[in-house]
Amino acid sequence: MKTTVIVTTYNRPDALAAVLEGYCVQSDRDFSLVVADDGSTKDTAEVVQRFVRRDGMRLTHVWQEDRGFRAAAIRNRAIASTNADYLVFTDGDCIPSHDFVKAHKALAEPGYFLGSNRVLLGDAFSHRVLREQIPVHRWGWREWAKAWMRRDVNRLLPLLSLPDGAFRKGASSRWEGIKTCNFSAWRSDLVHVNGLDESYEGWGLEDSDLVIRLIHAGVKHKNARCAAPVFHLWHHEQDRRYLPENQKRLDELLQSTMIRAAAGLDQYGPVGLDGQG
């Protein structure tokens, strides 16, 4: 199963470097990476090139012009750029756990998408991780328990490692709480629903829209919690001025049976299953 991890980023090269460090030491290295860049300056490109030179990572950089928050668009561009069978989505401020890729691949199953969870790092601790280059991706239970007691992180439950089983399919139509900072799906399913809908303006709910349309298309939710956590570095809250309009759009989708994105992958040419537009 050819797998690509899509890492969305915007002008946070120090966080992206910490994230890429985590991918350098994954227990399963049989994957490629696409840095989906929503208009960053050259500092981000320099980080990408540094990792390509240093580790020979299978890493590509897909960039679009900075015209405000357009995460749906850059993710669609990244989908269009790869011919992988299976795509894992995350963000450039989410450091992967050691078995992150391995777990997503192990739980992948035709007819399902995966949603997993995260551990939130506090403000001061996040700055310390980046400043001191603390390798939290290598940490075990003891280090995380100490961080939790210091209130540096919000919870430990995502660090539990549970096997595959029927319990993971117990909420197959659930879309609430599933975010593209820790999500994976078959590329063929994403092409079928025309990717993410770029009609959503600014921050908010474009990932929920994708999940709902996948469910409308018959693709079911499989819970990957307690298998593939990420460690989410703190950041200021995004501008939410467009959230009410985005919520209205999502509410309309919930009352419909719509499958395909109104403004999606097809904007980048006839994107077939071979990844060529």
> For the chain, how many structural domains are there in total?
1
Residue entry with tokens 């992150």: 100
**β-pairing, 86-91 with 220-223?**
unpaired
- Average the pLDDT over 31-58 and give the result: 93
Domain for residue 271, yes or no?
no
Q: What is the pLDDT of residue 201?
A: 81
Residue 24 has pLDDT above 90, yes or no: yes
Rounded Cα distance between 24 and 4, Å, is 14
Rounded Cα distance between 2 and 270, Å, is 21
Q: What is the pLDDT of residue 276?
A: 46
**Tokens representing 179?**
């975010």
Residue 144 has pLDDT above 80, yes or no: yes
Q: What is the pLDDT of residue 277?
A: 40
Mean pLDDT of the chain: 94
Domain for residue 81, yes or no?
yes
pLDDT in tens, 61-77: 999 999 999 999 999 99
The strands making up 94-96's β-sheet, listed across from edge to edge, are: 94-96, 230-232, 118-120
- Average the pLDDT over 17-46 and give the result: 97
Domain for residue 181, yes or no?
yes
pLDDT in tens, 167-225: 999 999 999 999 999 999 999 999 999 999 999 888 889 999 999 999 999 999 999 99
CATH code of residue 133? 3.90.550.10
The domain containing residue 177 runs over which residues? Answer: 3-265
pTM of the complete model: 0.95
Rounded Cα distance between 88 and 84, Å, is 10
- % of residues, the chain, pLDDT over 90: 90
**Tokens representing 56?**
């020979």
Domain for residue 62, yes or no?
yes
**Tokens representing 3?**
């797998």
Rounded Cα distance between 262 and 277, Å, is 18
Rounded Cα distance between 3 and 86, Å, is 5
